Amino acid sequence: MAAQGTSLRQYALTRLALVIPMVFILLTLVFLLMRVAPGDPISAALGGRVPKEEVEKLKAELGYDRPVYVQYADYLASVVRLDFGEAITDRRPIGDIIKENGAATLELTFYAMVVALVVGVTFGLLAGRYRDTWIDGGGRLFGIVVYAMPVFFLGLMAQLLFGSYLGWLPTSDRASPITQATIETHTNIYTIDTLINRDWGAFVDSVEHLVLPAATLGLVTAGVFIRLIRVNVIRTMKDDYIEAARARGVDERAVVYHHAFKNALVPVITVVGLTVALLLSGAVLTETTFNWPGIGRTLILYLQNRDYTAVQGIIVVFALVVVAASVIIDFVNAYIDPRIRY
Amino acid sequence: MSTPAGMGPSGWRGARRLAGVRRAFAPVAEARGLTRSMLWLGCAITLVFVAIALFAPVVAPYDFDTFEADGSRFAQLEAPSWDHPMGTNVQSTDVLSRIIWGTRTELKVVLVSLLFSISIGVPLGLLSGYFGGKLDRLLVLFMDALFVFPFLLLAIVIAFLLADRVGQGILTAAIAITAVYIPLYFRVVRNHTISIREEPFVEAARALGARPFTIIRKYVFFNVVQNVPPLATLNAADAILTLAALGFLGYGIQPTQGAEWGYDVNRAVSDAASGIWWTGLFPGLAIVLLVVGLTLVGEGLSETMNPVLRKRPTGTVDFSSDSGSEAAGS
């Protein structure tokens, strides 16, 4: 088809255009949610601890004495400028929080995703291929148990076993205090920074700290992949072209490995995108369990301090990340599968 | 339920009134092998928990916040013993009792939130799917926005905001969880309604002059609602995890209002460093067991109802006999 190139571009543009109302709705939702809360953000965060005049002054300074619609317009404008303001309680710019704590979350979720994919694809393919055998039973049971396991409970058990009982691995923080004090940061991703610095001791240290949180979050996420891939393999094995391949006399192993598995794995790309939201939710819990200084734990800390601007800023960033992930996944899907067009 | 649908004519006549129910359950009765055992195991686990929740006052040795008996305070962080089969926690309360009372809390919250999200999500999906137009487009955008949002964050923020107004009780937790799951029901019901709307029987009803709400009620609803039971069961499992997560983060049920497993696991994190395992292991296992039970039921149901995955019993057909050609020998 000659029009292929233009139609892909068209798809991409339409998809991008559709992002705007989605982001707009999300931003409005966040704004509304944060504003239904009783009182204004300043009194909520500082109420009782600071004299009244001080609160009024701060309110005027940060613009909370203006009408709500002006605040709303201002908020939208600042998000467009990618300026998320600063926390009320400790005056830390949200941008810095995202850069520093966000990097910790990125590191954790990336390795967790690797674990999830390796475990999920392996077990999913096996369970689907050997349907209704003990492999399938075991794989599915594993999938269900892992799905049913709250990430914080698995984390706690891992801490008990590998931390306090066996004493093999550290159970909290990103690195030992000495590494944290001496590390020269470039990206704030420790496993990369230590490599850039060629500091092997620190590298091993940060990897050791990463093992338990990443494995915990990854294993729990793997359940999603196991279920999905298993069903896909079963569905694919029933397809006509598999029958056709068999009828042509293609070796059964080739049918399974070359024809069925590949196609069964295509939807995984979509799910990786959807999993980003799941991983972020899991990261909040994992970070709290392992005292990992990521953006999720930071959010919980600010929630406890009733710091509305910080909470709002972090949630907006979360929303933008999730939307961006879904757009990217749709692009990849459209690129792979020419049937996906508007 | 031992005889599959399509038996001899005499049994059919007797059960005419129940034919619809029987047909709906036929896939469940026809389920064989792994799927069948999954379904039964899941039902058994779930029922045990329901029984524990119902009879909590009888089963539990103490109240969820009792820390003393006969005038003497229980030991803190006591290892499992005859008096306290699952030990005691930092506040000297009996872990077993907290788990038993916790069952009540979990099931209550999940039941309320399921009722809420089904009774909001399903009608919205029906209306949106059947009428289409601007309302549909707006609702879809709104629900999609809710859907892409990390579910736990949504629940946390809502619980956090409601905590000031309603207080941290069962209602707050249930509303926070409801908000997370409405889009799910909306999506499934809306998409199915759209495909049902184009079916000839709906068109026939329309041609006969049936009003939109009559069509929705009589023709669309029952076709669409079949998707809900498997979805709701899986959803209940998920809701328990969400509630536990909320409790773990401190935005679930207030500790004075009831026992909650997630909260207990959170309190156990600080015990883990000193090697104390019983305060965390048992509430965590309770979460896992209940979720596994519900998931097995949900997966079993969806596997028996989903024609793509469904496996019918294969049996030999005896052509020489005249008792009906559909009889399936098992």
Closest CB from B33, B146, B308 relative to A132: B33
- Contact at CB, B295 and A284, closer than 8 angstroms: no
Percentage of chain B lying above the pLDDT 90 cut: 13
Measured CA to CA, the distance from residue B108 to residue B112 in angstroms comes to 6
Closest CB from A144, A153, A315 relative to B292: A144
State the count of interchain CB pairs (< 8 A) between A and B: 140
- Cβ count within 10 A of residue A255: 19
CA A247 to chain centre: 44
Measured CA to CA, the distance from residue A276 to residue B148 in angstroms comes to 10
Most confident segment among A22-36, B37-51, B272-286? B37-51
Nearest partner of B186 among B230, B239, B136, B133, judged by Cα: B136
Measured CA to CA, the distance from residue B94 to residue B96 in angstroms comes to 6
Angle formed by the axes of helices B151-165 and B170-197, nearest 10°: 130
- Contact at CB, B153 and A145, closer than 8 angstroms: no
Residue-level pLDDT at A6: 60
Contact partners, residue B286, CB within 8 Å, separation at least 6: B99, B102, B103, B261
Q: Which of A144, A146, A300, A323 to mutate to test the interface with B (most CBs of B within 10 A)?
A: A144
Residue of B nearest to A320 (CA): B149
Q: Where are the alpha helices (DSSP H) in chain A?
A: 4-36, 41-46, 52-62, 68-80, 94-129, 134-148, 151-158, 177-182, 190-196, 200-237, 240-247, 252-254, 261-290, 295-304, 308-336
pLDDT, averaged across chain A: 81
pLDDT in tens, B48-64: 999 988 888 887 777 77
- Cβ count within 10 A of residue A22: 18
**Cβ distance B40 to B12 under 8 Å?**
no
- Contact at CB, A21 and B141, closer than 8 angstroms: yes
pLDDT in tens, A294-323: 888 998 888 888 787 888 888 888 888 888
Closest CB from A153, A299, A323 relative to B265: A153
Q: Enumerate the residues of chain B whose CB falls inside 8 A of the CB of residue A284.
A: 152-153, 156, 249
Residue B306 falls inside a structural domain: yes
Tokens read off for A23: 């982001």
- Contact at CB, B265 and A152, closer than 8 angstroms: yes
Domain that holds residue B193: 50-311
Cβ-based burial of B305 (10 A; exposed 0-12, middle 13-18, buried ≥19): middle
Poorest-pLDDT segment among A209-218, A278-287, B52-61, B169-178: B52-61
Residue B25 falls inside a structural domain: no
Q: Which helix (H) or strand (E) holds A294?
A: none
Residue of A nearest to B277 (CA): A160
Is residue A341 very low, low, confident or very high in pLDDT (cuts 50, 70, 90)?
Answer: low
DSSP structure class, residue B226: G
Average pLDDT over residues A227-245: 84
- Contact at CB, A152 and B248, closer than 8 angstroms: yes
Q: Identify residue A14 by its one-letter amino acid code.
A: T
- Cβ count within 10 A of residue A192: 16
Res. A260: pLDDT tops 50:
yes
Q: Which residue has the higher pLDDT, B27 or A134?
A: A134
Residue-level pLDDT at B10: 46
Residue B103 falls inside a structural domain: yes
DSSP string, A151-208: HHHHHHHHIIIIIIIS--S--SSSS-HHHHHH---SSS-HHHHHHHTT-HHHHHHHHH
Measured CA to CA, the distance from residue A1 to residue A25 in angstroms comes to 37
Residue-level pLDDT at A318: 85
Tokens read off for B191: 């998409």
Is residue A1 very low, low, confident or very high in pLDDT (cuts 50, 70, 90)?
Answer: very low
Is residue B267 very low, low, confident or very high in pLDDT (cuts 50, 70, 90)?
Answer: confident
Residue-level pLDDT at A145: 84
pLDDT in tens, B107-135: 999 999 999 999 999 999 999 988 888 88
- Contact at CB, A300 and B146, closer than 8 angstroms: no
- Contact at CB, B148 and A22, closer than 8 angstroms: yes
Poorest-pLDDT segment among A81-85, A123-127, B25-29, B100-104: B25-29
- Cβ count within 10 A of residue A334: 18
Residue B96 falls inside a structural domain: yes
Residue B299 falls inside a structural domain: yes
Poorest-pLDDT segment among A261-275, B242-256, B301-315: B301-315
Residue B158 falls inside a structural domain: yes
Measured CA to CA, the distance from residue B14 to residue B19 in angstroms comes to 9
Closest CB from A36, A156, A311 relative to B272: A156
Q: Where are the alpha helices (DSSP H) in chain B?
A: 9-14, 19-30, 33-54, 56-59, 95-131, 133-148, 151-165, 170-197, 200-207, 212-215, 221-224, 228-249, 261-272, 278-305
Q: How far is A70 from chain B (nearest CA, A)?
A: 23
Q: How far is A114 from chain B (nearest CA, A)?
A: 20
Residue B156 falls inside a structural domain: yes
CATH number where B140 lies: 1.10.3720.10
Q: Identify residue A45 by its one-letter amino acid code.
A: A
Residue of A nearest to B147 (CA): A277
**Cβ distance B260 to B243 under 8 Å?**
yes
Measured CA to CA, the distance from residue B35 to residue B56 in angstroms comes to 31
- Contact at CB, B284 and A165, closer than 8 angstroms: no
Closest CB from A234, A282, A322 relative to B309: A234
- Contact at CB, A323 and B148, closer than 8 angstroms: yes
**Cβ distance A38 to B165 under 8 Å?**
yes
Q: How far is B145 from chain A (nearest CA, A)?
A: 6
Residue B317 falls inside a structural domain: no
- Contact at CB, A281 and B288, closer than 8 angstroms: no
Measured CA to CA, the distance from residue A297 to residue A314 in angstroms comes to 11
Residue of B nearest to A230 (CA): B309
- CA distance to A26, A34, B94, B140, per residue, from A22 (Å): 6, 18, 49, 10
Residue of B nearest to A159 (CA): B272
- CA distance to A26, A135, B83, B93, B220, per residue, from B74 (Å): 50, 47, 10, 7, 59
Average pLDDT over residues A17-33: 84
Residue-level pLDDT at B4: 45
Average pLDDT over residues A26-46: 73
- Cβ count within 10 A of residue B200: 8
Q: Which of helix, strand or coil describes residue A222? A: helix
Structural domains of chain B, count: 1
Measured CA to CA, the distance from residue B290 to residue B282 in angstroms comes to 12
